[in-house]
Structures are given as C-alpha cells and as structure tokens.
Structure 1
Amino acid sequence: MDLLARLDRFNRRHPWSHNDHYGPWVARQVAGARRVLDIGCGTGNLVDRLRRRATVTGLEPDPATARVARERFADDPAVTIVEGDFAGRAPEQRWDAITLVAVLHHLPLVPTLRELRDCLAPGGRLVIVGCYREAGRADLLTALPAMLANPIVGLVKHPARAAEPPAHMRAPTADPAETLAEIRTAAAAELPGARIRRRLFWRYTLTYRA
C-alpha cells in the first residue's frame, strides 16, 4: 500500500491526461466526417483536433469547463460549444460522427448506447474511449503495465512539479460502475457489429458504424 501511495503522490506531481493520449486515434477514426458531436468536450482538446477537418459541436455540462471551452473557440466559426449534457442535445440532429472520451460511464449505459445509435446519420461513426470497473485477472494484468508506465510518461510530459492539475483535468469525475464484460454485452445488444478493445491506461475503445 505504501508503494501505491507513493506512486499516487508522484502521479499527482506530474499529471498528464490519459484521455488526450487517445486524441490522435479518435481523430483518425472520424476522418472524413463533416459534422461531429463531441459529448463531454471538457476544455476542448479533442475539439481542437477535430475542427481542422469538420464542423464540431461540443457538449459540456460543467459550467466552468464549458466557459473555458467557449472562450477558447470564440472566434472559430467551425466550433459551437453548448453548456449542457447529452439529454440537452438537439434531438432532431443527425451526426456524421459522435465522440465520447471518458464520458459514457457518467451516463446510463444501455439507454445511452441506444440513443447514440439513433443520433447517427446513415453511415455515421460512433467512437468511444471509455472507462470500466476492474474485475478479474485480465483487468489486473492490463493495469500492471499501466501502473509502471504512468509515472514515466508523466515525468516526460510534465517534468516540472505541479501544484494542481491543469485546467483540462479539473472537470468532475466519477468511478465507472460497469465492467468491460458488461459493456461488451450492452454494446452487442444495442450496437450490432461494434468493435471493443481493451486499451492501456485503464481505458477501452468502442467503434461503431451506423
């Protein structure tokens, strides 16, 4: 336990975003999409990547975080930031691509997957980078290399000690309730043909084409 506490203190002093790590991968998955909805956009790091090739709407429920994102893209006609959650979206709108990064575990799993499917235009793509509740040997085996790599990456990306997390890492968080097996089962029922892969740094990815 003492080792884990030491690692936690070190990681806090050298913070880096596991979510941003997957930003380039997400952008590649939605390449060619004209209209993209980024749910839970945070301060807009992923939006900044997506806007170079598409018109992007970002939904962010946290007022302070949404304000930072709006100010960041105030002069960009390709970006619209909406303070609100998934339930506050324009229900009649259909999207060429929808992205969620570390967001799905904040929402009811099965109803949200169903609604996401219905929000896609024909041929539209859903791309999720998600968090899951660890349970079982496979999760432990995946967590061990992540635990070892995490402080190394943090030291490289953020060598100076931080007094607090950067702005893009201060949005409210929640622990995931569903295991990866439960997420696979729900996706098989609601998103036939979806591909789910276990990833490093306590994440999984899901891709689906309508």
Structure 2
Amino acid sequence: MLLTRLERFNRRHPWSHNDHYGPWVARRVAASGARHVLDVGCGTGNLVARLRHRATTVTGLEPDPATARVAAERFAGRSGITVERADFAARDRQRRWDAITLVAVLHHLPLEPTLRELRDSLTPGGRLVVVGCYRDDRSPRLLVDLPAVLANPVVGLLRHPACADAPPPHMTAPTAVASETLAEIRAAAGRELPGARIRRRLFWRYTLVYDAPPGRRD
C-alpha cells in the first residue's frame, strides 16, 4: 500500500534520475581535458548542453526519431554541436573521441561488445564516463534501497512542485529494463576496460569511469 502511494506520488512529481548525474558527468569529462566529446543516446540534449561549455565539440547520437528531432532543433546553429539521428553502431568508425559519455544507455546495448567498441573509440588517454542501470538481485531490496525510496519523492517535490499530467519531454524517450546485474557489469568491465572504476549509486544507478592508456592526442 505504501509503495503504491509512493509510485502514484512520484508520477505526479516526475524528475529525471539521469539528469541528476549530469553535473557529475560533466565534471569528469572536464577533468580529463577532453576537447572532442561523444554523447551516446543524448536524448533531448540536457547533457550536451552541459558538455558544450567544457569541450570544443560535442557530438550527440540519438536513435529515437522524435527525441533526436528535439535535440537537433535545440542546438540548431550552435557552433561545435552536432546531433545525429543514429545509434552507437552507426557512428563514424574512423573517428576517435577524447571522451565518450553514456547515461542510462548501456543496458540497451550488448554489454561486452559495446564496452570493447567504446574502448576502441577513445583517443589515447581518453575517458569513458557511464551512468548506467542494472538488474538488482539483492534481497531484501526494500531495506537496501530505503534511502533512495525515501529521497525520491522529496527530490521530486522540490524539483517539480506542481502536479504533472504527463512526464516532461526529456523523460519520454524509449526505455528498457536492465538485464545485467552489477556483478556481471563489473566482470565485463574487468575484461574489456582494465582499471575501470565502478560504484553503486543512489537512485538505482551505477557509475563507471575508464581512462584509456595515455599517449599523444592528435
């Protein structure tokens, strides 16, 4: 009964768990000194808007046509920003980026092959920053997730005090349920991204930061 009421309240005061980590992602990218950044699954461009102040160029990939159109119109005429209606597989495979970001995207893609391709798409010394979703196999879940369960409606009320009839545009892109556990993600990263730092985070997310071996950036 309590969880049902909380879910109903959260729907009336929607806010993006992904955008919550936007400042954190932008700081990690800036700290790497990246000049050219790729944002995979950029949505309506909220993270792109943060990254554009910290890099020379930002390329956003978004496969959903309606969402990509919103992002493209948002940044039309902005120097250094490119939004492409494409998924990661359709990227320019001849190009390498100083930083690549994915927020709530990796679980849409085949995990291990994608990690390998992300690694190979970085320039020497480049940085991969991921905010991801995972399948929680812990039990009991409610006790472990209690801080997030309690904080979620508070943050929603503060960020979206007026009751909403529908989620905002940046929360309408297609979603998917994560299939890998955090242990499985750690294992795959250990094989493909040696030295990656992975942490479980609040609001049912994890973060991953990987730095490619150093070398000269062209």
Displacement of 1:4 in angstroms is: 1.3
Residue equivalent to 1:4:
3
Given that 2:134 and 2:179 are in contact with CA atoms closer than 8 Å, whether structure 1 keeps it comes out as: yes
Counterpart of 1:99, as a letter, is: T
TM (normalized to structure 2)?
0.94
Q: 1:192 to 1:141 in 2, by over 3 A?
A: farther
With over 3 angstroms needed to count, the CA separation of the structure-2 counterparts of 1:96 and 1:141, relative to structure 1, is farther
Could you tell me how far apart the structure 1 residues matched to 2:211 and 2:78 are?
Answer: 28
Structure 2 unaligned residues grouped into runs of 5+ = 213-218
Unaligned runs of 5+ in 1: none
Length-normalised TM-score, structure 1: 0.97
Deviation at 1:144, TM superposition (A): 1.5
Alpha-carbon distance in structure 2 between the residues aligned to 1:130 and 1:59:
17
Q: 1:90 aligns with which of 89, 92, 114?
A: 92
| Aligned 8 A contact 2:26 2:54 in 1 | no
In structure 2, the residue corresponding to 1:136 is in which secondary structure?
A: coil
- In structure 1, C-alpha distance between the alignment counterparts of 2:170 and 2:84, rounded to whole Å: 17
The correspondence of residues 97-136 of structure 1 with structure 2, limited to 5 A, is 97-136=99-138
Question: Which letter does structure 1 place at the counterpart of 2:184?
Answer: E
SS in 1 for 2:145: helix
CA drift of 1:53 comes to: 2.1
Work out the percentage of aligned pairs sharing the same amino acid: 75
Report the counterpart of residue 156 of structure 1 in structure 2: 158
1:53-64 alignment to 2 at 5 Å? 53-54=54-55, 55-64=57-66
The CA RMSD measured in Å over matched residues stands at 1.0
SS in 2 for 1:163: coil
Q: Deviations over 1:153-191 (max 9, x none)?
A: 000000000010000000000000000000000000000
Q: Count matched residues.
A: 209
Contact 1:134/1:140 (<8 A) preserved = no
- Once residues 9 and 167 of structure 1 are traced to their aligned partners in structure 2, the CA distance between those partners, rounded to angstroms, is 19
